[in-house]
Structure 1
Amino acid sequence: MKEAKSELRKIVAFSEKEHQVFIENKKEEIVAFHLQNNPFYRQLVGSKNSKNWNDLPVLNKQNLQKPLSERLSKGYSIKNSYINKTSGSSGDPFIFAKDKYSHAMTWASNIYRFGWYGIDFNSSYQARFYGIPMDFIGNKKERFKDLLSNRFRFSIFDLSDDVLEGFLKHFRTKKFDYINGYTSSIVLFAKFLQKRNIILSAICPTLKVCMVTSEMLFEDDKILLEKQFGIPIVNEYGASELDLIAFQSRSFGTDVEWLVNSETLFVEILDDNNQVVPNGTSGRIVITSLFNKAHPFIRYDIGDIGILDEKSTLKKPILQKLIGRTNDVAILPSGKKSPGLTFYYVTKSFIEDDGNVKEFIIKQTKIDSFEIEYVSETNLNLAQIQKIKKAIELYLEPGLNFKFTRKETLERSNRGKLKQFKSML
């Protein structure tokens, strides 16, 4: 860790020109290493010109769904590497490896960015909104890790009012420094506070900041969180197999920049033909891990769609917008393709007016049919449903069929994530 922190400090201090040299050298170095030491990557590249970066293959998650032993570099094993599994939120989970120095660089990057908000991983007390294994051994193991990591976990599998009341008691009695966890769960807690007219920082004055992760944070949800928590809200974007990908530099005021990690990662935005798109244009987010020698993540398609800001530079890339996952696209009868988030924006603007609906998900069941599952205190009325349908016709196209189903709870992944749009086609 000491060596990793020292190297990160040097990288951060580079000028724009020095950073460009650093990136080009690290790209060349990591490709050369894996071509020489990783049979899996060598086979993937094949006869392509490895000297030309744009000729290198784009790695996808399906490529990686084979035994880890077949993907490890020479000299690396399960015993001498950090091993973990992706969440599978894209539908393609796999086991991955990082060498220990690469893993240390990931932690150095985390420590650096959280430090922007006065958070010290060694001493700051975390309120953690995450899932937890339900089996006895897995549960105890995770609780023990929480103890060592100076964090208290709020399990998010049950978010009923009685359970949230229990959450509130902990904030009254514990000196939390920051909140970290899944967006949808933290937003639900904020809505609970809103109903009770409670500002969280008033009952837990030690709170400094809230970091939300793993799910989309919408602007009106951010405003709600800032109001009910009374602290800055930071939007984090990361991937367990890589690193923190982007982290907001500021939270209060209008000058909010979602800074991309350019110290341990190289991020590209590509079109469907694997060509780099101009800044300001949407495309597939493709990432290279510059330090991981145990396992190749070179031009790795993470499965998300995003836009880099036009004023981005190589040293300071800015993520203007994260649009969603590449598999979260609705195909409509006219042939039009629409990101699943379109439905979320449209319905959200109407059905949350009175605070009745707590959360919802949208499923495409047929080319012209969608089901909206929602959790609410009372059923949606006919007027609300008609408003939603009119908005969908305006933003998408007419002739679509919608079924509204009220639920007690919504289906989450085994880690507690809420997938807001899902195509069943």
Structure 2
Amino acid sequence: MSSTTLRTLSGTNLEDVQEMNRSLVMRLVRKNQICSRAEIAEASGLKQSTITNIINEMINWGLIVETGMIEGKKGRRSIGIKLNSEYYKIIGIRLTRTSISVGMYDLDGTEYGLQKLTINPGEGSAIAFKKMKDLITEAISTNTVGKVYAIGMATPGPLFRNEGRIALMSNFPGWEKINIQEELTREYEIPVYLEHDAKAGGMAHWWFGDHQDHGVLIFVTAGQGVGAGIVVDGTVYRGSLGMAGEIGHMSIDYKGPKCECGHNGCLELYCSTSSLLRVLGNEYPSIQAVCQALEAGNSIVEEAVQKAAWFLGFGLVNVVNVYNPSQIVLGDEFAAVGDRLLHTVSEVIQQHVLPDVWNRLEIKLAPPEKDFMLVGAATIAIDNLLNQPSVHLWPKAE
């Protein structure tokens, strides 16, 4: 075999196996909240002695605490355990074309504070980034228990996730010149994780939403742009550069209008809230104004919303045929119009996919009370911390 055909293969060291087992145990404890060592052993498939060693190790680290006696199967009582989550804080950030949101979370996803600031593309990306850092600094200063271990950030795309920077933010130039990950890491000296907002939303919905424990989940961000977070059996699908899911730049008309990405007829030119507001004109400056007009029975607004929803559904037909998801969740600003969006998108997809595919597909709206992209920013950071707990989470904050 010539050297040009050789592949580099990597083995697994004992230390790697131990870290994988620690990660598995922490994830199971987080998912089950308060549970017993025996339950973790059964769920993980690991030997009871292995579980005992890992749990004792994490108790010594301060990552896990005992909660007292709990009742298990067949009435057997045992000592409960849970994550000592409140000592381990994460900053979650969501960047949009018009706002910056910064929240503080713990390993369980509990929120400890939230700030949201309006930004203006006319001010430029450098000023907006400075405002973001001010919010992060303020959030960290308010923490009174434990310490902040990481920052997670959800951004519009396209995003070069592996390079830590935005490739293009339509209608808000300048962000492509800032290496956000590098800048924030240098400023705060903790790990920083960037993710496309749709992928972050998909991960948050997989962790905290209503779904099966397996399958393919597509989280659609239909807002100022359009994106899709693809989650396969709990793992975000990112592609080689981290740009997978950029459905907003999928062309649905090769003779259509020119997009900032250089393509013609991109989906987001037809069904983003930005395009919807452009169609409706200055009388409707926000999606909230659109919703009020819908409630008042404005036929012109109803027609424009239905047309945009039809285009989104048409684009999602392609997504369904490519990824065969078990669930599609419609989120972000456009989801505020509610059942009108859900009904039209569902109708279009039903008409254009195979009956067997449709019958095995669930389409729903994301709950409006939660910003899944912001929670997802923190979730992405938590997920990375849990991958290597002995590297990132030991010793416990004082």
| TM-score normalised according to structure 1 size | 0.25
State the TM-score, normalizing by the size of structure 2: 0.27
* Structure with greater strand percent: 1
